[in-house]
């Protein structure tokens, strides 16, 4: 089945061509490079995994309850609009919400794959090229995983959201080699990592929990890569150059915030224009979604501060968004947690499989003895 048959609204084109500018940079310096970057590169090699083998695709998923979370997380829950709906329409709300969220994860991962390949091409340091090459493979695996999940388990997909598309466009159109880092590693990956984390922690369903945990284990390294490269480079920027990057961050954060509203999901349902507007008011006023949106900046804000973009003007923008307090988050602690959760999930899964295998062998032996 073609992916285009899954889209609830038509994708504009089968491909999206982005005109990219800038130079491809070779380096003839093959020394060992920076110890921390090479250690990250080694970890990137060691942590490669196969989604076909590591994820248990035999697990069932209810497309009308993908994450197994209560309905009070839905923006319109308990409102007159929700009460007017029949059970079939409520099921569609659950299905479309999950399909839209995972579709944006999928499109973001393809964007990350292209941006990391762009970094290989344009970054001047060989150790950064080495690591970005491992990240390109990671992102390909993530896109493969989310595409399979949508196709086999959800059965519905959405085209790329206009706000995510706009940020990818501006990231890839910029000729400066550091902008794919800033747009992708810090903003898009940072927000995705936080979204994955919230969903990983609240889902009661084993298959999405596996996918989110394993993808996050990779993504934590990717954000660390962006921090490491940009922190070194941004120390030497002029005030004007730093201001240009801060403008990009502010605009990008507003795009990411607006992306989370998901108006197209309500427009795809059998709702009137007035009901769509009513749903969007609920989205904007929902206490749960306000908290969710705030948590999504838990990785971005401290990372932006860490790389040296922290003028009063940028801090005021974060204060206006209501996320300035996130600057106190420890990225190292969050990354350790991401690693530990994925490793613990592996240990529990494979220990259970080993127990089941021993029980099967024992039952076979007992049967033979009888």
The residues, any chain, with a CB within 8 Å of residue 10's CB and separated by 6 or more, are 4, 159
Residues 200/295, Cβ–Cβ less than 8 Å: no
Bridge partner residues of 7 (DSSP): 157
What does DSSP assign to residue 24? -
For the whole model, what pTM was predicted? 0.85
Q: What is the pLDDT of residue 125?
A: 87
Q: Domains in the chain and their CATH numbers?
A: 3-13+31-333 (1.10.620.20)
CA separation for the pair 309, 328 (Å, rounded): 15
CA separation for the pair 183, 245 (Å, rounded): 10
Please tell me the number of Cα atoms within 13 Å of 88 on its side-chain side.
1
Bridge partner residues of 157 (DSSP): 7
Nearest to 187 by CA among 314, 73, 77, 68: 314
CA separation for the pair 288, 269 (Å, rounded): 22
**Three-class secondary structure of residue 157 per DSSP:** strand
Q: What is the pLDDT of residue 355?
A: 60
CA separation for the pair 327, 298 (Å, rounded): 8
Q: What is the pLDDT of residue 193?
A: 85
Nearest to 210 by CA among 113, 347, 325: 347
Residues 188/164, Cβ–Cβ less than 8 Å: yes
Q: Which residues of 319-355 are buried (b: 16+ CB within 10 A; e: fewer)?
A: eebebbebbebebeebbeebbebbeebbeeeeeeeee
Residues 317/295, Cβ–Cβ less than 8 Å: no
Q: What is the pLDDT of residue 353?
A: 62
Q: Give me the average pLDDT of each 10-residue run along the chain (370 residues).
A: 74 69 72 79 90 95 94 93 95 96 94 91 88 94 97 95 88 87 87 88 95 92 84 91 94 81 90 94 89 83 93 93 88 86 89 59 58
Please tell me the number of Cα atoms within 13 Å of 345 on its side-chain side.
24
Residues 75/283, Cβ–Cβ less than 8 Å: yes
Residues 41/228, Cβ–Cβ less than 8 Å: no
Q: What is the pLDDT of residue 360?
A: 56
Q: What is the pLDDT of residue 358?
A: 53
- Residue 267: count of CB within 10 angstroms of its CB: 14
CA separation for the pair 358, 170 (Å, rounded): 55
Residues 133/113, Cβ–Cβ less than 8 Å: no
* Alpha-carbon radius of gyration of the chain: 22
Nearest to 229 by CA among 98, 33, 95: 33
**Three-class secondary structure of residue 7 per DSSP:** strand
């Amino acid at each position: 089945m073609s992916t285009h048959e899954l889209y609830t609204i038509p994708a504009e084109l089968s491909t999206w061509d982005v005109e990219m500018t800038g130079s491809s940079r070779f380096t003839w310096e093959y020394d060992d490079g920076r110890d921390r970057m090479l250690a990250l590169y080694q970890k990137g090699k060691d942590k490669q995994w196969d989604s076909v083998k590591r994820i248990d695709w035999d697990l069932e998923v209810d497309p009308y309850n993908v994450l197994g979370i209560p309905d009070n997380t839905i923006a319109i829950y308990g409102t007159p609009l929700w009460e007017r709906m029949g059970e079939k329409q409520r099921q569609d709300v659950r299905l479309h919400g999950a399909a839209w969220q995972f579709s944006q994860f999928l499109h973001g991962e393809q964007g990350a794959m292209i941006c990391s390949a762009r970094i290989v091409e344009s970054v001047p340091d060989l150790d950064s090229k080495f690591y970005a090459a491992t990240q390109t493979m990671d992102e390909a695996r993530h896109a493969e995983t989310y595409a399979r999940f949508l196709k086999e388990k959800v059965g519905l997909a959405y085209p790329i959201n206009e706000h995510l598309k706009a940020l990818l466009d501006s990231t890839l159109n910029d000729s400066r080699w550091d902008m794919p880092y800033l747009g992708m590693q810090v903003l898009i990956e940072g927000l995705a990592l936080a979204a994955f984390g919230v969903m990983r922690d609240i889902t009661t369903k084993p298959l999405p929990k596996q996918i989110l945990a394993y993808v996050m284990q990779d993504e934590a390294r990717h954000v660390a890569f962006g921090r490491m490269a940009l922190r070194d480079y941004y120390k030497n920027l002029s005030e004007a150059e730093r201001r240009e990057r801060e403008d990009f961050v502010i605009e990008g954060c507003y795009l990411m915030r607006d992306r989370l509203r998901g108006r197209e999901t309500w427009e795809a349902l059998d709702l009137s224009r007035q009901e769509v507007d009513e749903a969007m008011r609920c989205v904007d006023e929902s206490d749960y979604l306000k908290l969710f949106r705030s948590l999504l900046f838990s990785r971005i804000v401290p990372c932006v501060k860490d790389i040296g973009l922290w003028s009063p003007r940028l801090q005021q923008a974060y204060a206006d968004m209501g996320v300035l307090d996130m600057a106190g988050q420890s990225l190292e602690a969050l990354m350790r947690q991401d690693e530990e959760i994925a490793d613990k999930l592996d240990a529990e899964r494979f220990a259970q499989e080993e127990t089941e295998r021993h029980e099967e062998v024992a039952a076979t032996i007992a049967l033979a003895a009888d």
